Chains A and B, each alone.
Chain A
């Protein structure tokens, strides 16, 4: 394990309040990011579609996974936003989901369809009263039994590149194709990338990947082109519930803390932030989340660490090993008799 000792912050690890400045931008705009509040995500996948449309990300197969409504499966070269669907046997907690209708007799209301002023008028698709469709039970609709399904909850979360403060993909890129923008985000220059693939296993979140027929790597750019024109990224623009919020990271963090407090007060004790802490293993994420369960339930690593944290130590050990190899060779030549 690599955490047996106290790791002091170095250039590649620890809090970094001025990411763009450290990357060489003297007068950088505020660091921009995403706050994805999964408690209001409705799983509509508008973010996935908007991202694909705006960034001209190619189609990558229409596959039915059979595991949930999630047929996108995960982030990759051709998926820069991914909506996770988690179905759990767990009560809502103290949360008021707003889906209870004890006070309303929906069946009585349905029986009145077309007969009173409150019901749909001409053009409504409901059959006129007294003309029930063939095979339908006459006069009333039988309610479904609840079948114990009140204990079920859906978690939906739109995942994206985290635009880490200390981005392993950027650190290990040998060509300089990956770079830090003035907004503090991490972007691949497609005219430079030679498809070495080093960033793919370096990413602790499994975000960036190689496009097979293209050879280069691709990931979310936080819509660098739109940011430059003062627009918000396509996914945030398309999100109908503001589950995806875009803005200066400082503001988003403050807003997120308020939202967690609000949810806790409402009895949703599961609510927690993920990736907002600048003291975490990647120095905090530029795109962070409000989750309603442990990160791994959503397919996120619970405690990611930028691999470059240990790189100075790795080089030291490699140097020692190289010296050892020289030692072996010397041992081979000076050992025993000269004539052997």
Chain B
């Protein structure tokens, strides 16, 4: 292990050891785990402080925050299906969508409060309104949105106050898309390379993922005869999610790499497969009018959307833990500016 200088040279040990290099590009080259894939950007050497991260990694718990990204999307897009189902006379579609939205957003709120370091102080979120803080904006959106979904679901279950319920359903559908897409800004408005650099496409990825999740829930719970809009939304959502994700990765340079490594890679590949399969089964369930196919499609879509959120979450954390994703793009930027 120890060379003549006491320098560590362990196999796979990326730390420069005790003998730190000099200058901007004196670091050792990293070996890329090749599986015949073309690297999106050329290998770049870089310096770091003993390989330690530049950033402090997010302290958010994956189950709470990635779970919230998922449930928020599910709720927001479900509100659209609920309003659509109600306006077009599809009560079998509207009812599960209303219940799904209320349930998902209630779980979301619980997850968000649970993730706080001081959960008892959750009301401090409403102390100020700050447009510069996506979390502040999101808190206020949720304060408006969550009661609407609960009112819509409660009147649906009770079968009374139909007018109030309809108004709440429509109002929730107005806020729902904001709930589903602002979470992309929540992630992007950080210094985490793999979250920030994709900020132009990530809202579209999340919008697509929300659509597949909500239509998945509807396919599981709604009668096949009324699930037509959910089937079509599943196809459109899957196309948006997969397309926007590819565009995002192509546009972000080196910080796209964590999406294709380790756990995020497994999650995102699984998400792709499940979303494609779910969309295909959704199409089939429309042709065959088979409830079991629809339920399989719904389960695949719901799981695929969740896997996407967890994959994106973990990729960001991985990009914050490796100084390479912070230093190399910044160094390239400086070189470009100088040259």
Contact = CB atoms under 8 A, between A and B. Distances in A.
The winner among B49, B57, B119, B333 for most chain A CB atoms within 10 A is B49
A318 B138 CA distance: 12
Contact of B128 (A65, A175, A208): A175
Given A1-B333, A175-B127, A308-B132, A299 B54 contact: yes
A329 B49 contact: no
A297 B19 CA distance: 11
A333 B236 CA distance: 12
B91 interface: no
| Chief secondary structure at chain B's binding surface | helix
Contact of B56 (A155, A206, A338): A206
Contacts of B326: 301
Nearest to B60: A197
A216 B197 contact: no
A76 B56 contact: yes
B84 A329 contact: yes
Contacts of B9: none
Interface in A155-189: 155, 168, 171-177
Interface residues of A, number: 89
B125 A301 contact: no
Contact of A303 (B46, B124, B240, B333): B333
Contacts of B49: 84, 86, 296-299
B204 A307 contact: no
Interface stretch (B100-108, B158-166, B177-185, B266-274): B177-185
Contact of B177 (A86, A210, A323): A323
A216 B49 CA distance: 27
B20 A325 contact: no
A298 B18 CA distance: 13
Contact of A331 (B125, B232, B331): B232
B56 A208 contact: yes
Nearest to A331: B236
Contacts of B190: 168, 172, 198, 201-202, 307
Interface stretch (B30-38, B207-215, B298-306): B207-215
Interface size classification for chain B: 35 or more
B237 interface: yes
A301 B203 contact: no
A302 B334 contact: yes
The winner among A174, A200, A210 for most chain B CB atoms within 10 A is A174
B262 interface: no
A74 B52 contact: yes
A314 B128 contact: no
The winner among A3, A65, A293, A333 for most chain B CB atoms within 10 A is A333
Given A88-B20, A206-B56, A325 B15 contact: no
B47 A296 contact: yes
B315 interface: no
Given A197-B58, A209-B56, A304 B236 contact: no
Nearest to B320: A201
Interface string A15-53: 000000000000000000000000000000000000000
A333 to B, nearest CB: 5
B221 interface: no
A172 B132 contact: yes
Given A12-B132, A197-B59, A210-B59, A340 B228 contact: yes
A194 B180 contact: no
B191 interface: yes
A325 B206 CA distance: 9
B17 interface: yes
Interface in A215-241: 215-217
Nearest to A311: B189
A82 to B, nearest CB: 10
B171 to A, nearest CB: 14
B48 interface: yes
Contact of A67 (B15, B118, B184, B192): B15
A322 interface: yes
A309 B252 CA distance: 17
Nearest to A215: B117
A205 interface: yes
Given A88-B19, A206-B54, A328-B240, A307 B333 contact: no
A149 to B, nearest CB: 10
Contacts of B54: 205-206, 296, 299-301
B189 A314 contact: yes
A250 interface: no
Contact of A197 (B115, B237, B252): B115
A195 B206 CA distance: 26
A203 to B, nearest CB: 6
Nearest to A326: B177
Given A76-B56, A215-B116, A318-B181, A202 B191 contact: yes
The winner among A204, A296, A331 for most chain B CB atoms within 10 A is A296
B169 to A, nearest CB: 13
Contacts of B147: none
Contact of B181 (A174, A322, A336): A322
B117 A216 contact: yes
A66 to B, nearest CB: 8
B77 interface: yes
29 contacts: A1-B197, A2-B196, A67-B17, A74-B53, A173-B130, A175-B136, A195-B116, A200-B57, A201-B191, A202-B191, A206-B54, A206-B55, A206-B56, A215-B116, A215-B118, A293-B23, A294-B47, A310-B199, A314-B189, A318-B184, A321-B204, A323-B177, A325-B211, A328-B211, A329-B211, A332-B230, A333-B229, A335-B232, A340-B229
Interface of B: 15, 17-24, 46-50, 52-60, 76-77, 80-81, 84, 88, 115-119, 121-122, 124-125, 127-128, 130, 132-136, 139, 177-178, 180-182, 184-185, 188-192, 195-197, 199-201, 203-204, 206-208, 210-211, 215, 228-233, 236-237, 240, 252-253, 286, 316, 320, 323, 326-327, 329-331, 333-334, 336
Given A194-B124, A198-B135, 4 more contacts: A74-B52, A294-B24, A299-B54, A325-B77
